[in-house]
Homo-oligomer: A and B are copies of this chain.
Amino acid sequence: MSAEPPRYRRLADELSALIQAGALRPGDRLPSVRQTQASRGCSAATVFQAYHLLEARGLIRAAERSGYFVAPAAAPVATPAHEPQPVAVSEMVFQLLGTGGHEIHTPLGSAFPSPTLFPFARLRSAMIAGSRRLVPEELTQQLPGGHEGLRRQIALRYLRLGMSIAPDEIVLTDGALEGLNLSLQLLTRPGDAVLIESPCFYAALQALERLGLRAIEVPTQAASGADLDAMARLIERHAPAACWLMTSFQNPLGSLMPVEKKRALVALLERHGIPLIEDDVYAELQHHGLPPLPAKAYATQGGVLHAGSFAKTLAPGWRVGWVAAGRFAPALQRAKLSQSLSGSWPAQAAIAHYLEGGDYERHLRALRRALAAQQRTLRAAVLRHFPAGTRVTQPEGGYFLWVELPAAHDSLSLQRAALQEGISLAPGPLFCAQGRFLNCLRLNAGQPWTPTLAAAVARLGELIRSQTAASAPYPPAPMQAR
C-alpha cells in the first residue's frame, strides 16, 4: 500500500475484521475509549473517530453511559462507503468458506453446481482421445497462450455470438480465477484504486488485498447490475486503474446488465482509459433464449479483458478457463508463462476434443433446463419457510439466489448453526470489503431437488426463527447515535 490510511481508520478496520470474523459477537462490549487509548497508545480522538466510523457502518452501537456494543445484526448500510477502502477480508473469507470441520450433506454455500449435472463419462472418453492425439513435443514446447486447438474452439464460440476474437487474443488460464488475478496484477501497482461491485464476488476482494489495492465499491442492484451514475462520480474522484465486474448473472446477485447499459459501461470506461476486467463465467447459463452478449462486444479500444471458464458449465475441477485479453493479450501471455508456464495439457486437449465433437450445446441445453427448474423450486421453498419480509432474487441465469432476511437477522450466526447440522450457506459479509449485508445470504440453486435438500431449507427457516427468539439481551439503542 503506498499511502497508509489514517490511524482511526486502521483501528476501525481492525475492529470490523474482528466483528466479521466473529471474534467480537453481537452484544459484546467494546473496550472503553480510555482502555483503547492506553492499549494502542493513541489519542482519545482517534478512538472516538474509529468508533464513530464503526457506528456509521452499522457494526456497533453506543449505549448511554454503558459504552459501545457490537450491533446484534448490523443493518446493511444502504449505499457503500465511497472512500476507497484498503481491503482486509481474506482471513474472514477463508473462515466463512470453510466448514469448520463439519461434514456437509447440503452444500447450499457451494460456488459450483452439483457435479451430477456434468457429463464426466463423455469427458473421460474425450480425455483418452485427446491425449492419444497429442504430439509429445507439444508437452515440452510452451505454445504462447496454451493449447492451440482449444483456443480455436473458444474463438469459434465467440463467433457464434457474432464476436470476432482471434485465437491469439485468447490466453488459457487455470480456471477464470487465475486469469482474473493475472489481469489485475498486470493492470495495477500496489496502492492503486480499483472499481468493484458491492456486493461482489469474494475472490475479487481477496485479489485486491493480496495486491495491496484499494477497493472503490460501486452500488450494484439485483435488477440491472452496477450503478453507472455512481461509477462515473467515483471515477472522477478516484482515478481508478481498473474496473473488475460481472455483467451477466452477477455473483452473488444474479443481475444481468441490459444491452444498452453494457454499451454505456464500456463507453464510460473507454472515455477515461480504464481497462475492464469482465468476469463472465456464468454467461452461458442463461435459463432461456440465447446467451447474453458480454460488454466486450461493445469495446472499440481493446481495453476489455473478458474471462470465461469451463468450470461452471462443463468440467469443474479441471481448471480450464481463459481470458480474451484485447490489447493486453501479449502481456497477459507473458504473465501466465512467468506465473505457471501453462495450464494442464491433458485437460486442455480433452476439452478441445469434446468441443470438436459437437455435444457441448446439447449438454448446455440440459444443464440450463435443470438449473432453471432447480431455481424455481428452491426459491419457492425459501419463500415458504423463511420469515415474512424475506426477499429473494429471481435471476435469469446462473444458479445463485440472493436472500435478504428482515433487517434484524444475522447470517453469520445462521451459518454457524447450519454448519452444525451439515448445511452450508454463504453469508452476506463474504461479499463486501466492509462486512455489510449481514442480513443477507447466497444460496446455491445448482443442486437437484431431493428430500434432504427440502428438509434443509425447512430447517434453515426454523433456525432463523429460533435465533430471532433467542437473541441475547441487548443494551437499549441510544436515543441518538451520539
Contact = CB atoms under 8 A, between A and B. Distances in A.
A169 B112 CA distance: 27
Interface in A332-355: 334-335, 337-347, 350
Contact of A346 (B115, B127, B134, B177): B127
A480 interface: no
Interface stretch (A7-15, A234-242, A267-275, A311-319): A311-319
Residue among A141, A206, A316, A340 having the largest count of chain B Cβ atoms under 10 Å: A340
Given A110-B140, A115-B139, A334-B94, A342 B319 contact: yes
Given A112-B139, A139-B317, A181-B339, 16 more contacts: A107-B140, A113-B140, A116-B136, A120-B134, A120-B136, A127-B127, A139-B316, A139-B318, A140-B317, A173-B340, A174-B341, A175-B341, A178-B339, A181-B340, A190-B212, A317-B344
A178 B173 CA distance: 12
A132 B206 CA distance: 34
Contacts of A116: 136
Contact of A340 (B94, B111, B175, B347): B175
9 contacts: A107-B140, A115-B137, A120-B131, A177-B341, A181-B339, A181-B340, A190-B190, A317-B345, A344-B347
A137 to B, nearest CB: 6
A371 to B, nearest CB: 14
A42 to B, nearest CB: 24
Contact of A319 (B112, B118, B181, B343): B343
A458 interface: no
A469 B32 CA distance: 83
Contact of A318 (B112, B138, B344): B344
Nearest to A186: B210
Residue among A111, A185, A317 having the largest count of chain B Cβ atoms under 10 Å: A317
Contact of A174 (B127, B207, B343): B343
A220 interface: no
Contacts of A347: 344, 346-347
A344 B341 contact: no
A403 interface: no
Given A177-B339, A338-B203, A344 B316 contact: no
Contacts of A190: 190, 212
Interface string A108-148: 00111111101010001001100110101111110000000
Given A317-B345, A343-B174, A210 B181 contact: no
Nearest to A113: B140
A110 B140 CA distance: 8
A175 B342 CA distance: 9
A90 interface: yes
A268 to B, nearest CB: 29
Contacts of A185: 210
Contacts of A174: 174, 340-341, 343-344
B132 A124 contact: yes
B120 A127 contact: no
Contact of A207 (B206, B207, B334, B338): B338
A419 to B, nearest CB: 14
A320 interface: yes
Interface in A289-305: none
Given A338-B181, A347-B347, A115 B136 contact: yes
A210 B335 contact: yes
Contact of A206 (B127, B181, B338): B338
A479 B234 CA distance: 63
A452 to B, nearest CB: 14
Nearest to A124: B131
Given A120-B136, A346-B346, A319 B340 contact: yes
Contact of A90 (B111, B124, B334, B344): B334
A351 B99 CA distance: 28
B345 A319 contact: yes
A277 to B, nearest CB: 15
Contacts of A140: 107, 110-115, 316-317
Residue among A138, A207, A210 having the largest count of chain B Cβ atoms under 10 Å: A210
Contacts of A346: 127, 317-318, 344, 346-347, 350
Contacts of A131: 120, 124, 127
Nearest to A312: B140
A13 B223 CA distance: 53
